[in-house]
Structure 1
Amino acid sequence: MKNQYILGFLLIILSACSSGGRDERRELRTFYMTGAYDQGLQFIEKSKFYQDKDEKLLALMEKGMLLHAKGEFEISSLTFDEARTLSAQLYTVSASKKAEKTFLNDNFDIFYGEIYERSMLHFYLSLNAILNFQKTGKRDDLFKARAEVLAWDSFLSSIKEDRLGKSVYKNDLLLKIYGAKIHEIVGTREDKQIALQLYKDASEVLFKNYNTYPTFNLQYQSFKKDYDKLASQSVAEVKKKYIQESDLQKNIQEYLAQNIARLTKTSKKKLIDIKTPVTLVIEKGMIAEKVADKSYYSLDFLSKEPVVALFVAEVLGLMPSRNSYNPGGAFAGIAVASLALKTIGVGFELPKIINNSPPKKQMLVVFDKDNKEVLTKEIPLINPLGDIAEEAVFEGSAWIYTRVGFRLAAKHATAIAASFATYKAFGGGKKGDNNFLAKNAALIQYMGAAKLIEESEKADTRYWSTLPNEIRLIDIDLVPGNYHLEITLSPTEKMSLGDIVVTAQDSPLLFNVRKN
């Protein structure tokens, strides 16, 4: 009986902190979506969840984003820089903690952040710097923006080697295209050459890495499934067998081709034709929500002990698991584990991305001060963060499934052994009332333990919840003046982006807009 009490006590402890701040994230997202940034910042400071030392990185990410949205770029950068430093420190110890993570629920572990989330820290540090430069005119801020692009590239290079040959996030189209734009704004001959190379690199990244996303490739499933085989095939073969370009991919290919052609030319503008090059960085929507999805794990090892298997099936009544299991939800339709119908299974949770808002074609419409339409142009999609987040969850699902399964097996085996002991102690297996009482005692005991086990295996659904769902970037040339911007989503659906003031200058003028 002592062991049973210990088991119950441990399971209660394990279930105590298993919710992982789900309610807090929903509330914070509401503050962000409604523009209540100050309330969001106050909420983080007062929240018991966000003030937990294990959630420090997550709290810094969310706080930095709220400050960025408020236009407090310098304070936002200080916060993001602290997050980046902490993230680097955490990843030096994360590998050594893998053994511990086998035994404890992920919600007990420190929040390390996904690789794409760590990557986005560099983007916002650079974006804050360039926006600050355009407010102050200080060249130091411009050089900070460029330095952060270089640091971003260095970060992705550092993680690339371990991920070669795998269909996972290891390169970023946003880095190449946004980075090229920053080098263009700096404007030296060397920077323009770097920008040209980055646009060329972007075409390669789009082909090699972004065809795994449904936003860009209608055959993304087969591309992802056979990714390790693609290197042995010609580009023409890969395109024919694995790629069906979406309209959004065709648009970004056209965008890249135009920029490569523009920077390749050496012709100068005539004075009469001079317009200011304008770049709009548009962040849209809220990143797809990370939720818990019910899954099942096999306890088929119990079937090797006929007496125990009979007890589990007849007395405890454990249900068979499903025919198949696919960690990561329906993403890519790739099953990581297939369980036979006859196998005994127990339920638990895995994280899942609800990516219900696939990006669509969007048109930018520009009006002058007299409300006259002066320009309409499709807005290229650079980063489908919803797709990237979904891939990140899928990437970790096999490892999570194995770890959680090990814990589940150990916990349920202990609970079943305790229940079996109770069953025998009450005279189970014999005719008469004792058998009835023994069954009930064992069943009640196991049901209590099973409930605690289920509570202890809540999915880790922590994520940087205030990121946008997509990032777009568009280049336009405008005569200096005042303009109003709109996005046309459909013939009946439009969205205002607000007003901009375009000044006369040769280097690109960058504006950032976030619409939720």
Structure 2
Amino acid sequence: MKNILNKILRASGLFGLMLFLFSCASYNDRIMPYYTQVAGGNYKQAAVELDKNSLLKKPRNKLLLLMEKGKISHLEGDYESSNRYFNEADQLLEDGIGGVMDAAVGTLVNPMTQSYKGEDFEKFMIHYYKALNYFYLNNTEDAIVEARRITLQSQEQGDKFNNKESRYSKDAFSLMLQGLIYEAGRNVNDAFIAYRNAADVYLTASDTTYYGTKIPEGLKKDLIRTAYLNGFQSEQDKYERLFNLKYQAQKSPEGGELILFWENGLAPIKKEKEFFFSLIKNNHGDMVFTDGNIVIPFFDYDPGKVNKASVQSLRVTYPMYVARPPYFSEATASNGAFSIPMEKVEDINVLAFKTLDQRFAKEMGKTLARLAVKKTAEYVLSESGKGSGKNGKNDALLTGLGYGMQLYSLLSEKSDTRNWQTLPNSISYARIPLQKGENTISLSLKGSNGQNETKTIQVNGTGNLKFYNYSSLR
């Protein structure tokens, strides 16, 4: 029996060591060759690295693979392929990801082994890229369909949190984008509604700032202008007072207008942070987990499932975002006649940090409850081995299994460090008047170290609303 125990301990130790070494690498570490090529602007090589990556090819990472393939195809200018991937990702989300078995795997091992379901803001960004792809393919009708899908996504997000102001229950940028899409389709009534919905998100937020973004001046003007075009005088008066702006009717530019989006930098990455909790009774007699500073109620406490004596200390890992400060700090667009500062309309960096913070207590509570149950199973195995063997001696097999399970639980614990990391750090925009025919638009980028860069864009003014997005992914 002693030899059996030694073998179990050696095997569990070796397996635990393998798990530990494997778990040290975050998702970003394992996908680094791909992200390095993206940041360097080497999109073709990035696509090669993406196809080579074994981690992304696993079924549980299918959504991530589709989003990354959609993004890299978009950057390469292959808009048809880009939307094939994004449409598949969209369908995957609509059908639902995961299930009972998927949840069970996450409970037995760790959340990293579950299917990736996407961050809420990532789902909205799929619609952003799909709509741009359709415009670049001269497919305004499908772009408008995408605008309607933004409404459905917004309703789903609102229902998820009952439209609580303190939660990310709407995406102001997506609603503004929806207005722009409708306007490009010459539907000023729906454009007005979308602009109004976007503006109201800002107006109900503290200091009219929504997740790191103040209400854009361009949105204010678009809302008042479309109210005027629809003949909604009372709405026009209302928002003119709110924004302290007086609308002056002007002739539309002969060549139409360009909506220029600037995608600056890269979204934050996820790393892992360790916590050590104990299960105790508070002053009211309720069971809580605490690390000395953080207190998480144990709502699912069941004496039949959790033995308090077994939960002396729990090692818990939780994802934390690490920001990647962008190289450029601000930008200005020019059409040759005048300059227009780019206004920030989406701060993905702030969104990522705040939405993760918002679900901290709930996610940590689920993790701690899961670990407490596992800890009890370890305890039962170890205790069952005491004195249950021949002549009242300890059962080496049960004791060894208890030790092995303890080591496995300790070293297999890993947080989910996956996210769509080629999203930009932030998105800014400008509405630029165009002349009939060819227009040269300059985008001047100001580097944080004083070094500047200029991107020149050629746009054909046809009298319609046009779109262009430029990515500075470093």
TM-score by length of 1: 0.70
Shift, 1:397, TM fit: 2.7
Q: Aligned pair 1:354/2:322, yes or no? A: yes
| Map 1:244-259 → 2, pairs under 5 A | 249=214, 252-259=215-222
Equivalent positions of 1:266-345 (< 5 A) are: 274=254, 276-300=256-280, 322-325=291-294, 336=296, 344-345=312-313
Q: Structure 2: which 5+ runs fail to align? A: 230-247, 282-288, 299-310, 389-393, 395-399
User: What does 1:430-509 correspond to in 2, within 5 Å?
Assistant: 451-479=407-435, 480-488=438-446, 492-496=450-454, 498-509=455-466
Query: Which of 159, 162, 176 is 2:160 aligned to?
Result: 162
Change over 3 Å in CA distance of 1:385–1:482 after alignment to 2: same
Cα separation, partners in 2 of 1:210 and 1:20, compared to 1, 3 Å: farther
Deviation at 1:395, TM superposition (A): 3.7
Q: Secondary structure at the match of 1:362?
A: strand
Q: What corresponds to 1:152 in structure 2? A: 150
Report the alpha carbon displacement of residue 451 of structure 1 after superposing the two structures with TM. 5.0
Q: Describe the superposition over 1:252-286 as per-residue Cα deviations: whole angstroms up to 9, x where unpaired.
A: 34322211233344587559x74532210111111
Asked if 1:28 corresponds to 2:34, the answer is yes
Percent sequence identity is: 21
Give 1:29 deviation, angstroms. Answer: 1.6
Call closer, same or farther: CA 1:205–1:270 in 2, change over 3 Å: closer
* Cα distance change, pair 147–211 in 1 and its aligned pair in 2 (3 A): farther
Q: What does 1:38-187 align with in structure 2 at a 5 Å threshold? A: 38-91=44-97, 93-94=98-99, 98=103, 101-133=106-138, 141-166=139-164, 167-187=166-186
- Per-residue deviation, 1:404: 2.2
Tell me what 1:312 maps to. Answer: none
User: 8 Å contact 2:327–2:448 — kept in the other structure?
Assistant: no
Q: What amino acid is the match of 2:322?
A: I
Q: CA RMSD in A?
A: 3.9
Residues 465-474 or 408-417, more deviating: 408-417
**Alpha carbons of structure 1 residues 400 and 11: separation in structure 2 relative to 1, 3 Å:** farther
Aligned to 2:234: none
Counterparts of residues 171-210 of structure 1 (less than 5 Å): 171-187=170-186, 191-208=187-204
Distance 1:23-1:161 versus aligned 2 partners, 3 A rule: same
Aligned-residue offset at 1:503: 2.5
| One-letter identity of the residue aligned with 2:422 | T
SS of match in other structure, 2:415: coil
d(CA) in 1 for partners of 2:357, 2:459:
43
Distance in 1 (alpha carbons) for counterparts of 2:47 and 2:419: 17
DSSP-derived class of the 2:35 partner: helix
Letter in 2 for 1:36: N
2:392 pairs with 1:393: no
Closer, same or farther in 2 for the Cα pair 1:192/1:386, shift >3 Å? same
CA distance in 2, matches of 1:66, 1:154: 26
How far 1:509 sits from its partner (Å)?
2.1
What is the Cα deviation at residue 170 of structure 1? 2.3
Query: CA separation in 2, counterparts of 1:358 and 1:508?
Result: 29
Is residue 20–residue 461 contact of structure 1 (8 Å, CA) maintained in 2? yes
Shift of 1:94: 4.0
- After superposition, what is the alpha-carbon deviation per residue over 1:322-354, rounded to whole angstroms, capped at 9, x for unaligned? 4213xxxxxxxxx7569xxxx943322101112
Structure 2 length as normaliser, TM-score?
A: 0.76
Change (3 A) 1:205 1:144: same
1:49 Cα shift? 0.7
Q: Using the TM superposition, give the Cα deviation of residue 59 of structure 1 relative to its aligned residue in structure 2, in angstroms.
A: 0.8
* Contact 1:199/1:259 (<8 A) preserved: yes
Question: Cα gap change, 1:44/1:408 in structure 2, threshold over 3 Å: closer, same or farther?
Answer: same
**How far apart are 1:495 and its partner, in Å?**
3.4
SS, match of residue 462 in structure 2 = coil
Instruction: Name the CA shift for 1:348/1:500 in 2 (closer, same or farther; >3 Å).
Output: same
Q: CA deviation at 1:63?
A: 1.0
Corresponding residue of 1:375: 338
SS at match of 2:461: coil
- Partners of 1:279 and 1:510 within 8 A in 2: yes
| Aligned partner of residue 49 in structure 2, secondary structure | helix
Asked if the contact 2:263–2:427 (Cα under 8 Å) also holds between the matched residues in 1, the reply is: yes
Number of paired residues? 420
CA contact (8 A) 1:363 1:376 kept: no
> Could you tell me whether the CA contact under 8 Å between 1:367 and 1:483 is conserved in 2?
yes
Distance (whole Å) between structure 1 residues aligned to residue 77 and residue 57 of structure 2:
24
Does the 8 Å contact 1:11/1:456 carry over to 2? no
Residues 279 and 290, structure 2, Cα contact 8 Å, conserved in 1? no
CA contact (8 A) 2:333 2:441 kept: no
Q: Secondary structure at the match of 1:461?
A: coil
1:457, distance to aligned residue in structure 2 (A): 0.8
Looking at secondary structure, tell me which structure has more strand per residue: 2
- Name the aligned partner's letter for residue 111 of structure 2: D
The aligned residue for residue 307 of structure 1 is none
User: Residues 468, 491 of structure 1: CA spacing in aligned structure 2 closer, same or farther, 3 A cutoff?
Assistant: closer
Q: Secondary structure at the match of 2:366?
A: helix
- Once the two structures are superposed, residues 128-168 of structure 1 have per-residue CA deviations (whole angstroms, 9 ceiling, x without a partner) of 111222xxxxxxx1111111111121122134223115332
Describe the superposition over 1:440-487 as per-residue Cα deviations: whole angstroms up to 9, x where unpaired: xxxx99997655433211111111111111112211224353232213
Give me the whole-angstrom Cα distance separating, in 1, the residues matched to 2:93 and 2:376.
37
How far apart, in 2, do the equivalents of 1:159 and 1:95 lie?
23
User: Which structure's residues are more often helix, by fraction?
Assistant: 1
Give the drift of 1:384: 1.0
Letter in 2 for 1:117: E
Aligned residues of 2:110 and 2:413 also touching (Cα < 8 A): yes
1:71 Cα deviation (Å)? Answer: 0.7
Whether the aligned pair in 2 keeps the contact of 1:380 and 1:472 (CA below 8 Å) is yes
Match of 2:472 in 1: 515
- Between stretches 452-461 and 478-487, larger displacement belongs to 478-487
> Following TM superposition, by how much is the alpha carbon of 1:173 offset from its aligned partner in structure 2, in angstroms?
1.2
Q: Secondary structure at the match of 1:503?
A: strand
Counterpart CA distance in 2 for 1:413 and 1:11 is 21
Task: Give, as a single letter, the amino acid of the residue that structure 2 aligns with 1:324.
Answer: N
- How far apart are the structure 1 equivalents of 2:95 and 2:173? 25
Task: Tell me, in whole angstroms, the C-alpha distance in 2 between the residues paired with 1:467 and 1:484.
Answer: 23
